[in-house]
Structure 1
Amino acid sequence: MIREAEKSDAARIAEIYNYYVENSFVTFEVDRVSEDEMAKRIQGCLESDLPWLVAEHKRSVIGYCYASPWKGRCAYRYSVESTVYLDISLTSKGWGTKLYNELLARLKKRGIHVVISGIALPNKASVALHEKFGMEKVAHFKEVGRKFERWIDVGYWQCLI
């Protein structure tokens, strides 16, 4: 089931995200995110009238996705940045596709025109997921992040909806 995130989901969402913080370079955060901080992030997204969705399977949150404002200037109000994370044990099982299907449908209903996603590279699975939805690579920034004693590139994909 895909549904809107609730404050009570913050602990589980933080747990999913913190795996990536501690074990991968797909996020550039280096410190764990607390339940309270995650609840604030969810609330901020919802206050921007943008969706934060969770995938629930067997009564447990197994992944999430959301859209956040692309930039703060008013002319960017029809553009958002999308993010998706899944429980590491449930990747490559179609949940990312289910989450993105629902996210894009809700964004379209809200009148959003552009969806942009940043991907730490290399990341074949994330690139494939985003390109499945018609996103095209529009930028590549070399060595803009440093984590785990290595430089990391970031590519940006976008689609018009």
Structure 2
Amino acid sequence: MPVGRTEAQVRPGVEADLGALTDLYNHYVRETSITFDTAVFTPEARHSWLLSHPEDGPHRLMVATDADSQRLLGYATSSAFRPKPAYATSVEVTVYVAPDAGGRGIGTLLYESLFDALAGEDLHRAYAGIALPNEASVRLHERFGFQHVGTYQEVGRKFGRYWDVAWYEKKLNG
């Protein structure tokens, strides 16, 4: 897909991506309220997270890279929604885009690939929590058919203030 002046490609994430994935996530930990993690990670600390997203099954990791340089432009995941067995057909999805790659369709490309990969899985619903305000994320999720189902008021504290989280839901297979 053309992205600005570069071509982007999407593929499943692999172990060789771990450093770049950790660096990108740590940017959001340090600089934004988008994640409620407050301490940065080492690649070693994120290794089990990477392994929890194999190339098949309902829990996936898709990465977008620059076709020429292979630089990480972003990633999207589907993860367990809750640990109890009755939630197995639900996933929580998220997308992170490199700060200098925003507004170029990377999030859309990642979600298209992720939802295509999940199409054959025994999944019923996808959920996304969006720390507010985040109009770009709200627009992205609504574009993919997510509907707002509620907002947790002042549910997380980061950077000395409380943040609301809006929850969105999307029907998947079956």
TM-score (norm 1): 0.96
Q: After the TM superposition, which of the residue ranges 48-57 and 1-10 deviates more from structure 2?
A: 48-57
How far has the Cα of 1:47 moved from its partner? 8.7
The counterpart of 2:27, out of the listed 6, 10, 19, is 19
Q: Deviations over 1:30-72 (max 9, x none)?
A: 1001111222201022298321110011311111011101112
Code of the residue aligned with 2:81 in structure 1: it is: W
Alignment correspondent of 1:43: 51
Structure 1 residue 111, shift from structure 2 partner = 2.3
Q: Distance in 2 between matches of 1:151 and 1:73?
A: 28
Instruction: State the 1:95 CA deviation.
Output: 0.4
CA distance in 1, matches of 2:119, 2:78: 12
Report the 3-state secondary structure (helix = DSSP H, G, I; strand = E; otherwise coil) of the residue aligned with 2:119.
helix
4+ residue segments displaced more than 4 Å: none
Aligned partner (choices 85, 105, 129) of residue 118 of structure 1: 129
The match for 1:148 is 159
1:2 to 10, 34, 43: 10
Question: What is the alpha-carbon distance in structure 2 between the residues aligned to residue 127 and residue 115 of structure 1?
Answer: 15
Whole-angstrom distance in 1 between the partners of 2:106 and 2:148: 22
User: Which residue identity is paired with 1:52?
Assistant: L
Q: Tell me the C-alpha RMSD between the 2 structures.
A: 1.3
Question: Structure 2: which amino acid aligns with 1:13?
Answer: L
Query: Given the alignment, which residue of 88, 99, 115 partners 2:110?
Result: 99
* 51 and 121 in structure 1: CA distance in 2 versus 1, 3 angstrom threshold: same
User: After the TM superposition, which of the residue ranges 46-55 and 137-146 deviates more from structure 2?
Assistant: 46-55
Name whichever of 44-53 and 141-150 sits farther off: 44-53
Q: Which amino acid aligns with 1:139?
A: G
Following the alignment from structure 1 to structure 2, what is the Cα–Cα distance between the partners of residues 18 and 12? 10
- The separation in 2 between residues aligned to 1:142 and 1:100, in whole angstroms, is 27
SS at match of 1:93: coil
Contact conserved, 2:12 with 2:55, CA < 8 A, in 1? no
Q: How many percent of aligned residue pairs carry the same amino acid?
A: 34
- Report which of the two has the higher share of helix: 1
Partner-residue secondary structure (3-state), 1:45: coil
Identify which of 60, 71, 86 aligns with 1:75: 86
Aligned residue pairs: how many?
A: 161
Distance (whole Å) between structure 1 residues aligned to residue 47 and residue 63 of structure 2: 13
